[in-house]
């Protein structure tokens, strides 16, 4: 057996999507010259090349860009900065000593890294994960796969479509399929509210008169070779289908837009601890995981609503990784941050005292005129009012240095009024 | 008459209540910035959208190039533009910003490429 090609490197960035590119660019700008981006596909930009709709970049560039345009800006910048990006390379394992094992077209390579940035993104939940009963015919796609086929490969997926799940990709695909001549009979959502951004409700469903069925789900798929119809049922408050409410919709295609899961199979190989709610790494304000020198950013950390936030977070991870490699990282005393009543999750999971910090969090249910409380034990440190909060919209709140002075823990809660 | 709509100007997505008399706007509620005001105005008079789609490419590294209208177009023309784009085929290479169809329906709006497509090796 031949010896593994082994190479020492300051920083390995895993994944060449928007998170990995922004992290690598930021690390380079912060003084790391010896770095490499490892990408398993034969292109950079991750999922963005298939997201041909506009609305990207408003936060960062103050423009409405399409996915491919947004990606190209970072691909160009990485190229200008001469950041090595190796394509068609699959990372197999990361050891706790930060050896990154890569299956490359030239054979197995091992990078002995000082720091690693995890930016592998997320993947879609499938039919198997939501257990829809019925036959197993052709014509069942996750929304992202359908998007890939239509927008990159010129393959149309069907003519009569039902979409389960009202996340943004589902809404975007409802419009896309309609524009390409398909009939979208309904977008079916198990919850009593949509999971997508409100603007997508308007420009993807309302604009085209596509019915949205809230508190409904698909309870059976019919058809032997191809999908012939689906049964949908109303659900109760516990999301259980209500007997006697079944309706059949004839269709040849079912699209699933039922959630995204951070792709952390690799993270756990080096011992990174995960948060069971986000299914991403537990991180401090430097976006450093439980393994020193291993950082996480983008959708592998938590699923974001818009790519601009992925970029901003990843720039932070790149800067932090550079500080770690250059020995500039400060050893600080940290306190835990937790999600309390009405809050789904909060990031980062721990913060240093006496520092200005930005917390990111999501609420569990939509609410109007909501107040969010920041507690140290029973003591209320800060309150912030919102006209409207929604689980689909990530909330960002800054805490000042004085607000984090002398606190021993931090809990974020939706206040009852 | 009161009309409900959601502003598409940014991810915030303000829920607007627009009070109007025919095509004259009396009052807009629910907007958090000026974008919402302008949006409500356009929605009542002539709603516009940026259309994004794809057109076929000959001998490119992908069979399609993604495109957009370089300005919003009238919502009522969206399916006409889709029909037009279905007949278009361009030759690789294509660069971001390349004009794919100039001045569609004499509207002054062009369809431009949003992706770089290289020649197939």
Q: Is the pLDDT of residue A417 over 80?
A: no
> What mean pLDDT comes out for the span A281-306?
96
Q: How confident is the model at residue A314 (pLDDT cuts 50, 70, 90)?
A: very high
CA-based nearest distance A149→chain B, Å: 11
In terms of domains, do A51 and A80 share one? yes
What integer best gives the mean pLDDT of chain A?
95
In terms of domains, do A287 and A228 share one? no
Q: Which domain holds residue A222?
A: 126-258
Q: Chain A contacts of B116, Cβ < 8 Å?
A: 72
More confident call, A246 vs A199: A246
Q: Tell me which H or E stretch contains A150.
A: helix A143-152
Rounded to an integer, what distance in angstroms lies between the CA atom of residue A44 and that of residue A18?
8
Tell which of A68, A73, A201, A304 to mutate to test the B interface (max B CBs under 10 Å). A68
CATH of the domain at A344: 2.60.40
Q: Is the pLDDT of residue A1 over 80?
A: no
Decide which of A239, A258, A277 is a domain's last residue: A258
Rounded to an integer, what distance in angstroms lies between the CA atom of residue B4 and that of residue B24?
15
Residues A378-389 as b/e (b if ≥16 CB within 10 A, e otherwise) read eeebbeeebebb
In terms of domains, do A118 and A201 share one? no
Inter-chain touch A69–B114, beta carbons under 8 Å: yes
State the pLDDT at residue B13: 85
Inter-chain touch B11–A49, beta carbons under 8 Å: no
Answer for the pair A173, A257: CB distance below 8 angstroms, yes or no.
yes
Rounded to an integer, what distance in angstroms lies between the CA atom of residue B53 and that of residue A174?
14
Answer for the pair A44, A71: CB distance below 8 angstroms, yes or no.
yes
- Interval A376-406: pLDDT, tens: 999 999 999 998 898 888 999 999 988 888 8
More confident call, A390 vs B57: B57
> What mean pLDDT comes out for the span A101-105?
95
Predicted TM-score of the model (pTM): 0.94
State the pLDDT at residue A2: 59
Which domains, ranges and CATH numbers included, belong to chain B? Answer: 2-45 (no CATH), 52-113 (3.10.530.10)
Query: Which ipTM value was assigned to this complex?
Result: 0.92
What six digits make up the tokens of A315? 């720039």
> What mean pLDDT comes out for the span B58-68?
97
In terms of domains, do A243 and A266 share one? no
Inter-chain touch B115–A72, beta carbons under 8 Å: yes
In terms of domains, do A140 and A248 share one? yes
Q: Is the pLDDT of residue A350 over 90?
A: yes
Q: Chain A contacts of B32, Cβ < 8 Å?
A: 387
Q: Which residue of A has its CA nearest to B63?
A: A153
In terms of domains, do A275 and A194 share one? no
Instruction: Assign A327 to helix, strand or coil.
Output: coil
- Interval B66-102: pLDDT, tens: 999 999 999 999 999 999 999 999 999 999 999 999 9
Rounded to an integer, what distance in angstroms lies between the CA atom of residue A96 and that of residue A118?
14
Rounded to an integer, what distance in angstroms lies between the CA atom of residue A370 and that of residue A391?
13
CATH of the domain at A174: 3.50.50.60
Q: Chain A contacts of B6, Cβ < 8 Å?
A: 198-199, 201-202, 206
Q: Is the pLDDT of residue A27 over 90?
A: yes
- Quick one: DSSP state of residue B60? B
State the pLDDT at residue A172: 97
Q: In what order do the strands lie in the sheet with A379-389?
A: A350-352, A334-339, A410-414, A367-376, A379-389
Structural domain count, chain A: 3
With a pLDDT cut of 90, the percent of chain A lying above it is 89
What six digits make up the tokens of A270? 């080096």
What size, in residues, is chain B?
121
Decide which of A305, A325, A345 is a domain's last residue: A325
What six digits make up the tokens of A162? 């039902």
Q: Which of B6, B66, B114 sits opposite A198 (nearest CB)?
A: B6
In terms of domains, do A234 and A272 share one? no
């Amino acid at each position: 057996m031949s010896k593994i090609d082994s190479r020492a490197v300051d920083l390995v960035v895993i994944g060449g999507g928007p998170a990995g590119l922004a992290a690598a660019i930021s690390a380079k700008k912060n003084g790391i010259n010896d770095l490499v981006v490892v990408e398993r596909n034969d292109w950079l930009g991750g999922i963005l090349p298939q997201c041909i709709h506009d609305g990207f970049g408003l936060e960062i560039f103050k423009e409405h860009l399409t996915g491919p345009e947004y990606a190209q800006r970072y691909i160009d910048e990485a190229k200008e900065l001469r950041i090595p990006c190796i394509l068609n390379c699959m990372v197999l394992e990361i050891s706790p000593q930060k050896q990154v094992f890569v299956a490359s077209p030239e054979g197995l390579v091992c990078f002995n890294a000082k720091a690693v940035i995890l930016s592998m993104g997320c993947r879609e939940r499938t039919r198997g994960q939501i257990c829809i009963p019925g036959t197993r015919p052709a014509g069942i796609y996750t929304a992202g796969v359908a998007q890939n086929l239509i927008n990159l490969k010129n393959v149309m997926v069907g003519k009569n479509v039902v979409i389960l799940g009202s996340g943004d990709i589902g809404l975007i695909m409802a419009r896309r399929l309609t524009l390409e001549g398909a009939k979208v009979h309904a977008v079916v959502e198990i919850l009593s509210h949509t999971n997508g951004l409100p603007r997508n409700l308007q420009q993807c469903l309302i604009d085209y008169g596509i019915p949205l069925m809230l508190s409904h789900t698909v309870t059976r798929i019919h058809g032997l070779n191809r999908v012939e119809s689906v049964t949908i049922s109303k659900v109760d408050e516990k999301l259980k289908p209500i007997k006697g409410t079944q309706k059949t919709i004839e269709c040849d295609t079912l699209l699933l837009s039922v959630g995204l899961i951070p792709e952390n199979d690799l993270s756990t190989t080096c011992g990174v601890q995960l948060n069971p709610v986000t299914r991403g790494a537990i991180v401090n304000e430097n976006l450093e995981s439980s393994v020193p020198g291993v950082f996480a950013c983008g959708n592998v950390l938590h699923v974001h609503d818009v790519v601009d936030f992925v970029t901003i977070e990843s720039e932070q991870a790149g800067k932090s990784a550079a500080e770690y490699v250059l020995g500039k990282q400060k050893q600080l005393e940290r306190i835990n941050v937790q999600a309390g009543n009405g809050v789904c999750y909060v990031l980062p999971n721990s913060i240093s005292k006496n520092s200005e910090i930005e917390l990111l969090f999501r609420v569990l249910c939509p609410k109007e005129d909501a107040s969010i409380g920041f507690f140290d034990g029973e003591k209320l440190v800060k309150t912030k009012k919102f006209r409207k909060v929604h689980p689909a919209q990530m909330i960002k709140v800054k805490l000042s240095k004085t607000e984090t002075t002398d606190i021993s823990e931090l809990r974020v809660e939706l206040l009852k009024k | 008459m009161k009309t409900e709509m959601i502003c598409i100007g940014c991810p915030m997505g303000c829920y607007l209540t627009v009070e109007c008399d025919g095509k004259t706007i009396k009052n807009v509620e629910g907007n958090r910035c000026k974008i919402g005001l302008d949006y409500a105005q356009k929605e009542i008079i002539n709603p516009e959208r940026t259309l994004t789609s794809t057109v076929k490419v000959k001998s490119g590294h992908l069979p399609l190039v993604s495109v957009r209208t370089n300005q919003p177009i009238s919502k009522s023309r969206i399916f006409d533009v889709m029909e037009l784009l279905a007949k278009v085929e361009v030759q690789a290479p294509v660069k971001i910003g390349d004009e794919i169809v100039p001045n569609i329906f004499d509207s002054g709006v062009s369809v431009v490429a949003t992706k770089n497509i290289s020649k197939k090796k």
